[in-house]
Amino acid sequence: MSANIRIVLVNTTHPGNIGGVARAMKNMNFSELHLVAPKKFPHTNADARASGATDLLESAVVHETLEQAIADCQLVVGTSARGRHIPWPVVDPRELASIVEPISADKKIAVVFGREDRGLTNEELHLCHHHVHIPSNPDFSSLNLAAAVQVITYELRMAELYVDENRDIRPQWGTEWDIDLAESADLERLFAHMEEALTDIEFLDPENPRQLMPRLRRLYLRAMPDKVEVNVLRGILTATQKQTKK
Amino acid sequence: MSANIRIVLVNTTHPGNIGGVARAMKNMNFSELHLVAPKKFPHTNADARASGATDLLESAVVHETLEQAIADCQLVVGTSARGRHIPWPVVDPRELASIVEPISADKKIAVVFGREDRGLTNEELHLCHHHVHIPSNPDFSSLNLAAAVQVITYELRMAELYVDENRDIRPQWGTEWDIDLAESADLERLFAHMEEALTDIEFLDPENPRQLMPRLRRLYLRAMPDKVEVNVLRGILTATQKQTKK
């Protein structure tokens, strides 16, 4: 998807922000950076903030006008604050991703970001099919340029990952959970053993068990222990019982 | 929601990043910033990057240790790269938001971010109930600190904005959970007690602890015990130790 999506920065003042954008893009696996009349570029501050994404700066395409930068694009989306004078289709970044994702395999798409201090002009916004607005705090709404690119590219990447049927690339446990979950029978043996050991140490009174075992069952079942964890717990119970028999 | 969610930065090297984080937070309507042993703070670079969010820097709480910063929190989530040596529950930012949003009205929550160059240590990650991983490009995975905070706080804000008003009719636990969740400090006392008791019964060899405590931490943190459950477990530990002293 990302090969067909370009990020376009219009009239950026601070080259450090261009570097920050390059880093944000590469973090989300985007590479097509287009710059419209940047104030200072290339620049050492851009390289510094890119911190390893300098390849995107080197391959960045510089244009004189926004029209040139988007000339071959089939969907153009401009970032916008709320409440422009003339109503225009506005989406949030998630809605943008749901529009872009299905067509990004074979359509060329541009997401356009304006100046640090005043965004895109109305004329520039009127070149766009849609506007995208990040739903920020109305009392403090202006994101740093690289932060705004981070949010948009993150949503586009999430849409791609969530659509991918092989969602296993995003493992639930940080890495493969290498051990099988315990089976119900394992757990029942654990709870029987636990009840016995708790009686041995006189924590559980069989004459007056109260809600102790239901509470413990609820706790351990909630955690869905794996087989090794059950073995560890049973090992602890056995070691505990050994003490009582001394 | 955001009043109960604190952003915790551990050992930040560059004060500019602290400022960038403050701006990102305020953009998403968050205000609770906690700093663990920042290298340089306060600092003019922090003020400059905050660009209007200096109120968050002024009210930031500085701690000496991560344990102090999260002591009263009931859900602690640490940001993590992939593939830690011991699997731990990992969510992406959207899943994190779906966990946090329903409980943020009355639970205290911390999202913890590590050092710019090497994130959180394993020991710090083992203080956390869950880990959150931003699904970045595996070949260029490390986001700028402020960019990572931007993505997480954006997802939390989106969850709040998107929340279905009728969701409350179907409580998560079948009924109201009547006991408050344990705080991080309660849990740390539990684990310290557990380690002591397991050593007493000679199940844990302090000379060769292997991965026993991380495995047990992971199991109990996953279950998110409430305060009564923690008391029950500590009662069991005390009863166990009484046996060894006979």
What pLDDT does B171 receive?
44
Note the pLDDT of residue B155: 97
Query: Looking at the predicted structure, is the pLDDT value of residue B172 above 80?
Result: no
Shared-domain flag, residues B193 and B115: no
- Find, in chain B, the residue whose alpha carbon is nearest to that of A134: B154
Is a pLDDT exceeding 50 seen at residue B168? no
In a domain, A100, yes or no: yes
Please check whether residue A175 lies inside any domain of the structure: no
Nearest to A240 by CA among B2, B238, B180: B238
| Cβ neighbours of B51 in A, within 8 Å | 144
Q: Determine the pLDDT at residue B179.
A: 87
A92 with A40, same domain? yes
Same domain for A150 and A96 = yes
CATH number assigned to the domain comprising residue A221: 1.10.8.590
Is residue A70 over pLDDT 80? Answer: yes
> Do residue B34 and residue B154 come from a single domain?
yes
Given a contact cutoff of 8 angstroms between Cβ atoms, the answer to whether B144 and A24 are in contact is yes
CATH code for the domain in which residue B43 is found: 3.40.1280.10
For the stretch B118-121, contacts whose Cβ atoms lie closer than 8 Å and that sit 24 or more positions apart, written own/partner, are B119/B79, B119/B80, B119/B81, B120/B10, B120/B78, B120/B79, B120/B80
Least confident of A30-44, B37-51, B166-180: B166-180
pLDDT digits (tens, 9 = 90+) for B5-37: 999 999 999 999 999 999 999 999 999 999 999
Whole-number average pLDDT of chain A: 90
Is there a contact between A175 and B83 if contact means CB atoms under 8 Å apart? Answer: yes
**pLDDT confidence bin for B164, thresholds 50/70/90:** low
**Per-residue pLDDT at A117 exceeds 50:** yes
Q: Which residue of A has its CA nearest to B220?
A: A223
Q: Is residue A178 a part of any domain in this protein?
A: no
Question: Per-residue pLDDT averaged across A142-150, rounded?
Answer: 97
Backbone angles phi, psi at A159, to 5 degrees: -60, -40
Last residue of one domain, picked from the residues B122, B143, B168:
B168
- DSSP readout, chain A? -GGGEEEEEES-S-HHHHHHHHHHHHHTT--EEEEES-SS-S-HHHHHHHTT-HHHHHTPEEESSHHHHHTT-SEEEEE--S--SS---EE-HHHHHHHHGGGTTTS-EEEEE-BTTTB--HHHHTT-SEEE-----TTS----HHHHHHHHHHHHHHHHHHH-S-GGGS-TTSS---SPBPPHHHHHHHHHHHHHHHHHTTSS-TTS-TTHHHHHHHHHHHH--BHHHHHHHHHHHHHHHHHHT-
Cβ pair A147:B228 closer than 8 A: no
Q: What's the CA gap between A214 and A20, in Å, rounded?
A: 54
Q: What is the mean pLDDT of residues A45-72?
A: 96
The number of folded domains in chain A is 2
Closest among A28, A29, A21 to A49, alpha carbons compared: A21
In a shared domain, residues A24 and A114: yes
**pLDDT for position A164:** 60
Q: Which domain, by its residues, includes B163? A: 2-168
Asked if B244 reaches chain A (Cβ–Cβ under 8 Å), the answer is yes
> What's the confidence (pLDDT) of residue B165?
45
Residues B81 and B194 in one domain: no
pLDDT of res. B175:
58
Residues B55 and B125 in one domain: yes
Q: Does B108 touch chain A if contact means CB atoms closer than 8 Å?
A: no
* A224 strand-pairing partners: none
Residue A165 lies in a domain: yes
Region A233-240 average pLDDT: 97
- pLDDT value for B169: 39
Do residue A165 and residue A189 come from a single domain?
no
- The residue from B168, B202, B229 where one domain ends is B168
Minimum-distance CB partner of A173 among B90, B94, B150: B90
pTM of the entire structure? 0.88
Q: For position A218, what pLDDT does the model report? A: 86
Kindly state the average pLDDT of the residues B215-244: 94
Distance between B63 CA and the closest CA of chain A, angstroms? 27
- Is omega for the bond preceding A225 within 30 degrees of 0, making it cis? no
Has residue B179 been placed in a domain? no
Whether chain A has a CB inside 8 Å of the CB on B159: the answer is no
Residue B34 lies in a domain: yes
Question: Are A87 and A159 contained in the same domain?
Answer: yes
Q: What percent of chain B has pLDDT over 90?
A: 77
Statement to judge: residues A107 and A155 lie in one domain: yes
Averaged pLDDT for residues A209-235: 92
Which residues, including other chains, have CB under 8 Å from residue A9's CB and lie 6 or more apart?
A17, A18, A21, A33, A34, A35, A36, A38, A113, A145
Residue A221 lies in a domain: yes
Spell out which residues of chain A touch residue B140, defining contact as CB-CB under 8 Å. 26-27, 29, 52-53
Output the average pLDDT for chain B.
91
pLDDT tens string B115-160: 999 999 999 998 999 899 999 999 999 999 999 999 999 999 999 8
Distance CA B231, CA B237 (A): 10
- The pLDDT of residue B102 is 86
Same domain, B126 and B162: yes
